[in-house]
Structure 1
């Protein structure tokens, strides 16, 4: 899955949290290294996403922030 296909995004720090999200059905989209402004230490940062899910009517449900960012003509 690519970032553009994700209807919902989340970000976590650390392998344990990333593995929990993967077990919940999230898909890994990116792994980066960030630096804490407080102590200048680096940490691993994971970006995960879930695709849009079809509704019972066969339509795809998109979260509010996705609908606002990418308006769809009906």
Structure 2
């Protein structure tokens, strides 16, 4: 299943236990993934699934390092 493979990629790239990753997890707040780390996950998914990332506006979703947006997002989520 594709979902299982994506979770496996996230787990391997970020050195996270598979159990800590769910379909409701957010990269930034729940998994502490931003910037370059997120791009590594996207690259692995590109390789695995032959995705076209040309139109992905990465900066619409992730900011440059370091990112302090996570703390604000967490307060908003509460």
TM-score by length of 2: 0.24
**Using CA pairs below 8 Å that are at least 6 residues apart, which structure has the higher relative contact order?**
1
Which structure has the larger Rg? 1
Greater helix content: 2
Greater strand content: 1
TM-score by length of 1: 0.24
